[in-house]
Each structure stands twice: as C-alpha cells, then as structure tokens.
Structure 1
C-alpha cells in the first residue's frame, strides 16, 4: 500500500492552508497514494505557535468549515484517504480539540483523533483534551493516530501495538529534532511503520519522514520547502523481514512469559543471590 506524507506550509489562514492541502492531495493521488497524512494544525493553524489565529480566544469557524468541506469533497473525487490536522470546534465556550480528521476515499469523515495528553500551555487555555483512541483500516493495513508531545508517552505507543496497528500517523507542529529520534525508537521497539508529518516551516529542524518497522528512515522530505513524499508499506520487503516476521512475533511470545516459565529451574546457586 502506498501512503504519502504531505509537508505543507501551515499559516493562520485556513483558506491558504486548504489550498495547499488540496494541491498536495492531487500530487499524492497522481503518484498512486491511497492515504495522505498532514501535519498538526495543517488546515486551521496551530494555536500554540499561531495565536493570532485566535480572535479574543475565538476562532472564525466559517472558513474552516468551508475549507474542510472542499477538502473532503476532493478526497472523494480523487479516491484517497486523508488525515488532516486542525482545531475541531466544540459548543459554547468550550475550547476546541487539537485533532486529526480522518476522511475516507469517499469523502466521508469516518473518525477524528483528539489529542489526549496536552502540553501545559495547551491545557492552560488553548485546547480541550480528548479521551478516545482512533484506529482505522485501509487496504488491509491498520493505522493509528498520535499528536506532537504524545511522542513522549510510551504507554500510548504500546497501546497502538496492542491494538494491532501497522502504521502510526504521528503529526506534529514542532521544531524539536528529538521527536523524530523518539519516534524511531517507538517504531523499532514495536515493529510498525511511523509517518512523521511536520509543517514546511518546521522542516529545517527535521523534515517529514516515514520510519520503517526496524526504526530506520525509509524516506525523508526536502527540509527546505513544501514537499510530498510517497512510500510503499511493503510487508514483503526483505529489509523488513527481521522486524516484521521475527522480532514482532518473538516479542509477543516473550511478553507472555510462558517460554521462560517452562525453562526456569530450582537451583541453590540461582536462589542465593548473595553468593559469588
């Protein structure tokens, strides 16, 4: 299965962002991608770095709604899935979610991931935390979603593994290169692909990339401009054989503990841990 990671310039203008997203969708579809991943805040801008987007802590939702509708329609026309970052409106005075919208190849919103573990700044007046896990399947591959500082919480990444996820779509609005290093560690530890999507203006510190189940980069976007990279998720790739067909099943066996319990012995030299 071919996926694309789109590295668009993210501004405070949903109209400009929407146009960039749709251009990336067309390019990815032309290259045969079935799913396109975008950065955190790709459609709306991100509140943390783009606070001018908030007008007295209120968002003008009309252009957001229009651009999201146009993008959903295009995804349906192109027959591609899209996972797009943005602020999701709640009711009344409730702050929005920091979300990833999941749009299928018919142009339908089939789910939404709302960032669960927010930063101190986000929880102090920018966003409302989410509470659900989001996974979905495309062409026999299961995808999961995580956002930005959630890279720092191993339990969320282990949860993705336990849910049988093949590829984690990790979107961020960050210029911290350590995020990629941590994501590579999660990919290698759990033997799944990880898509890393960042805005073009953050790319010089570490551009968008696809990490393989062995923890190595399979492809990286240009760090100096907007870009779209397409990569095949290929379970038959011999370079991934050890990670997918040996490490992942063996680690499941190891975690169950049965293989070790059957081989433990009662031995005086084992029981006495103070003896040389």
Structure 2
C-alpha cells in the first residue's frame, strides 16, 4: 500500500464537433492541471472526437486525420508535463467496422499504455455507432490502481464489482449522463466497492450533475459548480484505512460465506419460519 497521496484532476468541459477546438481545450486544461501538481487528469466520454448521438450524427463527418494529429500532440504534451491523461474519444477501426467508444490511457512518459473500449453500449450506440469492447482496463500511477468505465455502464453492477475484485483504488467514470439518478448510482458504487470514483462529465449535462470525485464512503470530496472547470482531489489511502483495510476485506469474506456457514445452527425454531 502506498503512503503517498495522489492528486487527481477531473474536467468538466463543453463538448463540440470541432476536433481542433477540443484538442486545444484538452491541452490547455492539461497545463492547468500540471500547474496545480496533479498527476492525472480525466476527461469526459467522447470528448476529443465528439460523442455520437450528440455532437456526431455520422462518422463520415469526423475529421479522423485531425483526431490522430490532436491525439499525438496530447501524447507529446503529457511527456513534457509529466502528466497522466485519461481521454475520451472515438477510436477508429478498419472500415467498414464502427469505432470503439474509448478512453485512452496516456502515461507521463508520452505513450498510450492502454485503451478502454466501452463494453456495455446503449441500444442506439450498438445498432448505429460503436463496436463494443470486452476487457476491463487497470493501470497504476504512483502506487494507486485505476480502472475505467464509460457512461451507461453505470447500469451494470457486475462491472463495478469486477473492478473492486481487481483491487482498484479509483474508478475513472467518464460519461454523458441523461438523468440525475446517474449520480446516486455512482455514489453507491463508490461506497459499496470501496474506491474513489472520478466522474468526468461535459458542461452540457451540468443541470443533471457536475463532474467531481467521490470518496470510498460515497461522499463527494470535490465537485464542479456548473460551467467549465477542473476540480482536484488528493487521493490518500491512509485517510481511508477503515474502508480499505477493514470494510473491503470484511465484505469479501462475507460474500464467500464462510463466516456464516461456520455459525449455522441446527434448531427447529430456526427451520420453522412460521413459529412464534
């Protein structure tokens, strides 16, 4: 376990269909995050390319060479700033296959070290826009383990349980939410699975909720207040010793069931569930 804290920056940005404008926004906020000593900055779903159904109605309208060029500039700047970046974008595949809805994991050495491809796409996404992914993604920064998830996957508890079983300290959830219940689910998963949740959202959905960081107790420790913003949270495992060192192991033990099976009693008053 690391004794060092890690500063996470989470962006709330205005998504557009202009790839060049989106790329400039990413780099500007990367510089701001680095100036505030952040080690990792997270962006919303589909931000670089534009998100299908919202900014993008047809993949033929996307300037894919521009997406690649902007991504290369972002990767180079990550190395210059010594900053990790988790960036939402469509990832093009070989035609005629539809793109993935992805989160690029960019290291502070200036390399794409992994890419999370959305596994549970919405009905519209899977029938009109995206090819699904199939694997979880876990990576480590300064001793902290991070996982990745995207938007509608909030409705699939097993995915969030899986990341808990993979011992992530923080789940980076980038999204384009369509209702305020999304926030309640994210807070519940943080508490149930005992990890931080970084939630990066576009400013267009601020009327539902704002970007922020939820602690392992289900409470916000940082949240934007409308509009465009970067919010910061220091992830500090020792400050949550009870959750990581006691609550998480106990819940795993409880799920295995041994602590209950070994205490099972044989008693007619237990077996008869109609007795007084």
Write out per-residue CA displacement over residues 178-228 of structure 1, whole angstroms, 9 at most, x where no aligned residue: 1111000101111110000001222232110100000011110121x2111
What does residue 50 of structure 2 align with?
45
* 1:67-106 aligned within 5 A: 67-106=70-109
Residues in 2 aligned to 1:62 and 1:127: alpha-carbon distance in whole angstroms: 19
What does residue 30 of structure 2 align with?
25
Displacement of 1:51 in angstroms is: 2.5
* 1:2-151 aligned within 5 A: 2-52=7-57, 54=58, 57=60, 59-151=62-154
Q: Would you say the 8 A contact 2:49–2:62 is kept in 1?
A: no
Q: Would you say the 8 A contact 1:175–1:206 is kept in 2?
A: no
Residues in 2 aligned to 1:216 and 1:244: alpha-carbon distance in whole angstroms: 15
Displacement of 1:175 in angstroms is: 4.0
What does residue 157 of structure 1 align with?
160
What does residue 262 of structure 1 align with?
262
Residues in 2 aligned to 1:47 and 1:265: alpha-carbon distance in whole angstroms: 56
Residues in 2 aligned to 1:193 and 1:109: alpha-carbon distance in whole angstroms: 23
| Structure 2: segments with no counterpart, 5+ residues | 1-5
What does residue 272 of structure 2 align with?
272
Residues in 1 aligned to 2:181 and 2:115: alpha-carbon distance in whole angstroms: 26
Q: TM-score, normalised by structure 2?
A: 0.95
Displacement of 1:98 in angstroms is: 0.4
Partner residue of 1:236 out of 235, 238, 243? 238
- Counting matched residue pairs gives 271
Following TM superposition, the consecutive aligned residue runs of length 4 or more in structure 1 with deviations greater than 6 angstroms are: none
Residues in 1 aligned to 2:91 and 2:176: alpha-carbon distance in whole angstroms: 16
Residues in 2 aligned to 1:257 and 1:201: alpha-carbon distance in whole angstroms: 45
| Structure 1: segments with no counterpart, 5+ residues | none
Q: Would you say the 8 A contact 1:12–1:45 is kept in 2?
A: yes
Q: Would you say the 8 A contact 2:19–2:63 is kept in 1?
A: no
Residues in 2 aligned to 1:40 and 1:191: alpha-carbon distance in whole angstroms: 23
Displacement of 1:246 in angstroms is: 2.6
The answer to whether structure 1 residue 203 and structure 2 residue 206 are counterparts is yes
Q: Would you say the 8 A contact 1:175–1:203 is kept in 2?
A: no
